[in-house]
Amino acid sequence: MTLFKSLLFVFVAALSVAPAQAQKSADTIRLAINDPFPMLSPYHLGVNEAGIFYQKVFESLVQYDEHKGRWVPQLAKSFTRISPTVLEFELRDDVKFHNGNKFDPDDVITTFDHLLDPKVPLRYKNRYDWVQKVEKLGPNKIRITTTGPNAIDLGLLAYRFFVQDGETMKTLEDQAEYGRLTPYGTGYYKVTQIDKNKGIIVERFDDYVGNKEYARAPVKRVHGIFLPDRQTQIAQLITGGVDILSNVIQDQANDLKTKPGVEITNLPGGAFVYYAIDSAGRAGNKALADPRVRRAIIMSIDRESIIKHIVPAGEIAERIDAPCFKSTIGCKYSVKPPAYDPEGAKKLLAEAGYPNGFDMEYTVFVPIKDIAIAIAGEMRKVGIRVAVDPAPITVYRKKQGDGQTQSWSVFYPLGGHPDASAALSVWFEGERASYFNNDPIVINAMAEGLRETDGAKRDDIYKRAFDRINEMSYVMPLSSLPNVYAHRSDVKIMPSLLSATEQYIGDYAFK
C-alpha cells in the first residue's frame, strides 16, 4: 500500500468514527426509528417504537417485576385490595412532573376521566372501561372501583395506564393533544423535542425521585432519529451517524458484524411467532376442519430446526409449547403440541382421506416471511401443497376480518402485557374466535379467568384453555422472537431491570 493510500484510509476511518465519538462526549445515544411519530402518547398513537420511550417518560401506579414475579410500587407507595371490585392506593407525596407540577390524586382522576369519556375515541377502550370510578380519599390516597371482578386490574394499571399532568390537561382545548404539545411525565427521562421530521429527544430528569431500584438513565440523552429506509439506517450506522438499529434480520446481522466499529447484541424479545389454522373451515378449505389434518400439519413441522436456522438469534429464542412465555402470568398447560413426525403426519393425512395431500393457502406478516417459507417447506415434504402469501399488516387484518385466511403466521407482542388473558385474546376474542368454532371450553375459561383473582385457581382455569388449544391443534406456537440489535462498538444494550422480554431507552449505555 502506498503512503498516499495509507493516509487516505486513515482519514476515511477517522471520519467514520468522529460522529460517534462526538456523540459519546455529548452523552447522547442515537437510535434509528422506522415509523415517524408526531406525539408521545400511550393512548392516542400506538406505534410500537414509541413505547420504548413513553414507558420511561410516563409512569404507572404500580409495576410488575417479571424476573421475580411480584408487583412493585411506582407512583403508588402501596395498595390494598378492599374487595374484588375495590382497590385503594397510597400515593407518593414527593413526585413532580417534568414541568415542575406536583403529582397528586387529581392527576390520576383527570387522566382516567379523559380515557373513560365516551367522546374520546380510543382503539383499545377496553383497557380502561373496566374502571367504574376513581375517588380521592385524602391528599395522597385514591380508590378505584371496577365494574366487576377483574383479575387483570393490576396488570392493566401496570402495563396500560400512565399518569399525565392533570393540571396541564385542563388547559388544553383537545386533551388528546397532550402527547404532542405537553408530553410531561414523571419518569426518569423527559421529552425535550418531538417532531415528525427531526425526531424525538429525551433527556435525563435530574429531579427524579421515584422507585430507583428499577430506574436507570445511564446516558444523558437519547435521540430517536426517523429513518424509514433500512439501507439508509445501515449506512448511517456504519459511518457513525446513528448508534443503534433494532429488529435486525439475521442476514443483515451476519453482514453488519463484519463491519469495523459495529457489534451485534441479541436479547430476549417480548413477541412470539405462531402458526394458526382455520379450524372451522371458514375460509373454504374443508380439510382444515378435520382435527387429524391439523395434527398432521403440526407433526410435519420441525420446529427446532426452524428456530435454530431461521429465527433471528434462534440460539436464545424461548421454545414455547403453548402460546405464552414462562414469565407470562397464568401460562400453565399439561398438553404439548404433537412432536415432529413426518411419517406419522403422512399416515394421519391418509386416514383423513388425503393420501396425496391437499392444497392450502398460508398468509404471513411480511417481516417473518422467511419463517413462513420454512414452515411451508416442511409441509410440502408430506404432500401438503402450500401457497405462501406475504402481506403487510393492513392487508392481513382485512383478509382475516373477511374470513379469508386458511392459515396464518404473525408475531404477537405479548411483552406489552404478559398475561394469559392477553395471549388468548389473539385468537378467541370477538369475531376471531369463529375460526375455531367459538370453542366453548376456551371461551368459558377466558371469561372465568378474568373473574378469578386467586393466582393458583387462575392458573388451573387457563390450563384448560391452553390444553384445549393443543389437543385440537388450533395453533402451533413456535418461539419467542429475540430482539437483535446492531450498534456501534462503544455502545451496549442491557437487559431490562423489570421486563424479562423487552428493552427500553434506560437500557442503552456507553461502555
Calpha distance 440→151 (Å, rounded)? 20
Average of pLDDT values for 388-398? 89
pLDDT, tens digit, 9 for 90 and up, residues 130-151: 999 999 999 999 999 999 999 9
Average pLDDT of the chain, as a whole number: 92
Query: In this model, does residue 416 exceed pLDDT 90?
Result: no
Domains of the chain: 35-226 (3.40.190.10), 269-483 (3.10.105.10)
Residue 249 pLDDT grade (very low, low, confident, very high; cuts 50, 70, 90): confident
- Quick one: pLDDT at residue 7? 40
- Quick one: pLDDT at residue 87? 97
- Quick one: pLDDT at residue 39? 93
The count of residues in the chain is 511
The total of other beta-carbon atoms located within 10 Å of residue 144's CB is: 24
Chain center to CA of 35: 16
C-beta separation of 231 from 463 below 8 A: no
Sign of CA dihedral 16, 17, 22, 28: positive
Residue 8 pLDDT grade (very low, low, confident, very high; cuts 50, 70, 90): very low
Q: Are strands 385-391 and 359-365 parallel, antiparallel or unpaired?
A: parallel
pLDDT, tens digit, 9 for 90 and up, residues 293-347: 999 999 999 999 999 999 999 999 999 999 999 989 999 999 999 999 999 999 9
- Quick one: pLDDT at residue 14? 43
Calpha distance 189→173 (Å, rounded)? 26
- Quick one: pLDDT at residue 251? 87
Work out the end-to-end distance of the chain between its first and last CA atoms, rounded to an integer number of angstroms: 34
In sequence order, which residues have a C-beta less than 8 Å from that of residue 477 and are 6 or more positions away? 272, 274, 320, 321, 322, 323, 324, 337
**Nearest one of 33, 67, 167 to 109, comparing CA atoms:** 167
CA distances 78 to 62, 71, 128, 204, 259, Å, are 8, 10, 21, 26, 50
DSSP 65: E
Report helix, strand or coil for 407: strand
pTM, to two decimals? 0.82
- Quick one: pLDDT at residue 35? 79
Residue 5 pLDDT grade (very low, low, confident, very high; cuts 50, 70, 90): very low
In sequence order, which residues have a C-beta less than 8 Å from that of residue 180 and are 6 or more positions away? 38, 39, 40, 41, 194
- Quick one: pLDDT at residue 37? 86
pLDDT, tens digit, 9 for 90 and up, residues 251-281: 899 999 999 999 999 999 989 999 999 999 9
Average of pLDDT values for 90-101? 98
Query: In this model, does residue 18 exceed pLDDT 80?
Result: no
Average of pLDDT values for 29-35? 92
Calpha distance 454→106 (Å, rounded)? 31
Residue 366 pLDDT grade (very low, low, confident, very high; cuts 50, 70, 90): confident
pLDDT, tens digit, 9 for 90 and up, residues 438-447: 999 999 999 9
Query: In this model, does residue 2 exceed pLDDT 90?
Result: no
To the nearest whole percent, how much of the chain has pLDDT over 70?
95
- Quick one: pLDDT at residue 22? 52
Residue 393 pLDDT grade (very low, low, confident, very high; cuts 50, 70, 90): confident
Calpha distance 327→500 (Å, rounded)? 7
Residue 46 pLDDT grade (very low, low, confident, very high; cuts 50, 70, 90): low
The residue whose grid cell reads 369519556 is: 117
Q: Which amino acid is at 509?
A: A
To the nearest whole percent, how much of the chain has pLDDT over 90?
82
Average of pLDDT values for 413-435? 91
